[in-house]
Amino acid sequence: MKTHALSIVTIAYGLVLSASPVHAAMLYTLAGATQEFASPGVFDAVLDSTGGLGLVTFRIDGFKTPDGFNAGADDQDTFTLSLNGAAIFSGTWDLGGGGGNVILFGDPAATAVGLPSVFGQGGRVDIATPLTLVAGVNVLHFAYDSHKPLGLGDEGWDLRNIAVTGPGVDVEPVTLPEPASWALMLTGFFGLGGLLRRRRGSARI
């Protein structure tokens, strides 16, 4: 009787574990910002997943006058996010150039929160959208397009704080040391090398 009861408990515990949500691993992180791009411009993020539902969050910074939704297509700058070659989200925002903030298409759960912008001084928008990852390598393609390209002096942009979570294995964010940190580390290495040479010289005497 005790054995039978133990078996029921074990099976129930296994069912609970199998029903629990899949661990959402941090599959890609970009701390800080990309380089500044002109519009049109693109940036790709490559990540691995075991496949399934995920989420990407990021910020677009606009410099000077990227335009939001306008009646005239010539005055509109459109952002599009693609996953593995298929467009999954698109919108246009006033990032210093005027116009309206509009999500053109995407998952109903997607959000885009634009922060107040000043004409000619850029602006920013925080975006979050679900995505369906494939098992293996996934490519996120971030693209800004202008019908009338005006270059960095008018419609520059960058991406900041990209984070992708979903089924898979956590990755460590890659951060490059600042120049001052490199100099400090090199000084330390040279100092350590000099100390080791002095100790070896003392040991021979």
What's the pLDDT tens digit per position in 20-56?
345 689 999 998 899 999 988 999 999 999 999 999 9
Higher pLDDT, residue 24 or 191: 24
Whole-prediction pTM value? 0.73
The answer to whether residue 166 sits within a structural domain is: yes
The answer to whether residue 201 sits within a structural domain is: no
The answer to whether residue 140 sits within a structural domain is: yes
The answer to whether residue 199 sits within a structural domain is: no
Q: Please check the confidence at residue 177 and state whether its pLDDT lies above 70.
A: no
Domain extent, residue 32, equals: 24-173
Mark out the alpha helices in 28-178 (DSSP H runs). 152-155
The answer to whether residue 106 sits within a structural domain is: yes
Judge contact between 152 and 36, C-beta under 8 A: yes
Number of domains in the chain: 1
The answer to whether residue 15 sits within a structural domain is: no
Question: 84 to each of 52, 126, 140, how far by Cα in Å?
Answer: 14, 22, 7
CA 120 to chain centre: 26
Round to the nearest angstrom and report the end-to-end CA distance of the chain: 79
What's the pLDDT tens digit per position in 102-144?
999 999 999 999 887 888 888 999 999 999 999 999 999 999 9
The answer to whether residue 64 sits within a structural domain is: yes
Please list, residue by residue across 19-45, b when 16 or more beta carbons sit within 10 angstroms of its beta carbon and e when fewer do: eeeeeebbbbbbeeebeebbbebebeb
The answer to whether residue 31 sits within a structural domain is: yes
> What CATH number is given to the structural domain containing 57?
2.60.120.1310
